[in-house]
A and B are shown apart, each in its own frame.
Chain A
């Protein structure tokens, strides 16, 4: 009895600190990516803190609703933020202690991810504008192609561990660091990285800085939102990017993640997460400078490629583990 209370307390501590750390870090992460891009383009850029300034301003502005919008225009952004916060709480970014009743199972995480996607797509449809609907349909198409890859690639990682709980996978990687460099792991992580880039709307799948409505995916869905609603949509998407980048980098470099609750372990975990996210964001922004957006009808080819990698990883995991 006491043991389970202790587990619940440390799981709650880890979940709360993950939420707090990611809420603070995610806008800084976007600021870092924009700054890296600006520096590589010869500009100075708005600085790392600029997304926080934008957010503060958006929260202070009066939201303006388009004619004929429903209550979903306000509820959708809140649902997106809630789903992203739930993701922050569940994913083992700081510690691998999970609630016994609510483990961070692969299928739970992917379902919550999809819940946020659907909330966002409905926000895009809600105003009834041509661009919003177009963005939503593209977003759902990409989501439909991304989710199987996410499921399959994490499934490949879960086969050697024998559990689809993300925390157990990270723990197994901490115990046996050599498994990170196994072919299964590398193939699965490559597939997962492509899926994460597509899911979070980065180049080459979607251009977050675009002004051309016809090329938009994420931007088209948020075109009609303003003020507070827009702030929630932005925070929700930034948190998703933070969580998914954090997940990929934690799976690739599991060191620093705490397996039980201690003050020193928590400090190390936070510092390690900040370092991992900073490196991952800098790398992503650097790669993006050299990339152009691919045509929408070539996105399925890219996603099919990543699905094949994930499938190969699953196949390889059976070959490697049995041998």
Chain B
């Protein structure tokens, strides 16, 4: 696409982000340090990629989780929130534990989707080691199969308090 075409497209598109819904009730258990800024490290522990699509949408232009102070980062050492999706498979059990261990405190573990909460429809499958809470201490859960982007954004807003 030519530069002019790109400029025209940007001008025509304008603002895509929806108006911010009212801020959710602040959660009492969240660390105060993370008010206004929470970096998120996403761990796919064995997901079907349904939650990933919704997560992508949550950080995309329409839901724009970044305006509430949440940002996806590339390393658990930079993160405050470990966001787990999917059932925990045998192969991802140890990597998930290590990722949480590599996240500096205070940290929040967020289980997104029914699989991460209670194994969902993969409960009892041969490759499954358990839910996220079987592997690590989970602080916050987002139900749904898959959860709506607005639900993920709301959970992140409960952490950042914005």
Residues of A within 8 A of B (CB): 38-47, 50, 53-54, 56-57, 60-64, 66, 210-211, 213, 216, 219, 222-227, 230, 289-290
Contact = CB atoms under 8 A, between A and B. Distances in A.
Centre residue among A43, A50, A222, A290 by max chain B CB count within 10 A? A43
Given A41-B61, A227-B104, A210 B33 contact: no
Contacts of A57: 33-34, 36-38, 80
Contact of A64 (B3, B74, B104): B104
Contacts of A210: 74
B104 A224 contact: no
A42 B61 contact: yes
A289 B17 CA distance: 18
A4 B71 CA distance: 51
A43 B64 contact: yes
A47 B72 CA distance: 16
Contact of B14 (A42, A62, A289): A42
B10 A40 contact: yes
A38 B67 CA distance: 10
Contacts of B78: 222-223, 226, 230
A75 to B, nearest CB: 18
B117 to A, nearest CB: 25
B77 A53 contact: no
Closest 10 A/B residue pairs (Cβ)? A42-B16, A226-B77, A53-B37, A64-B104, A44-B67, A42-B61, A53-B36, A223-B75, A57-B37, A43-B64
A225 B39 CA distance: 14
A86 B161 CA distance: 37
Contacts, number: 88
Contacts of B48: none
B13 interface: yes
B122 to A, nearest CB: 26
Contact of A54 (B6, B37, B67, B74): B37
A56 B78 CA distance: 14
Given A43-B66, A60-B33, A223-B77, 17 more contacts: A41-B16, A41-B61, A43-B16, A44-B20, A44-B67, A45-B67, A46-B66, A46-B69, A50-B69, A57-B33, A57-B36, A57-B38, A61-B33, A223-B78, A226-B77, A290-B3, A290-B6
A223 B37 contact: no
Contact of B104 (A43, A63, A213): A63
Main secondary structure of the interface of B (DSSP, over half): loop
A44 B64 CA distance: 7
Interface of B: 3, 6, 10, 13-17, 20, 33-34, 36-39, 61, 64, 66-67, 69, 71-75, 77-78, 80, 102-106
A56 B73 CA distance: 17
A53 B33 contact: no
Contacts of A45: 64, 66-67
13 contacts: A41-B16, A42-B15, A57-B33, A64-B104, A66-B77, A210-B74, A219-B74, A223-B74, A223-B78, A224-B75, A226-B77, A289-B6, A290-B6
Contact of A230 (B3, B66, B77): B77
Contacts of B80: 57, 61
Contact of A62 (B39, B61, B105): B105
A219 to B, nearest CB: 6
A41 B66 CA distance: 13
A230 to B, nearest CB: 6
Centre residue among A54, A210, A225 by max chain B CB count within 10 A? A54
Contacts of B6: 289-290
Contacts of A225: 77
Contacts of B66: 38, 43-46
A207 to B, nearest CB: 11
A53 B69 contact: yes
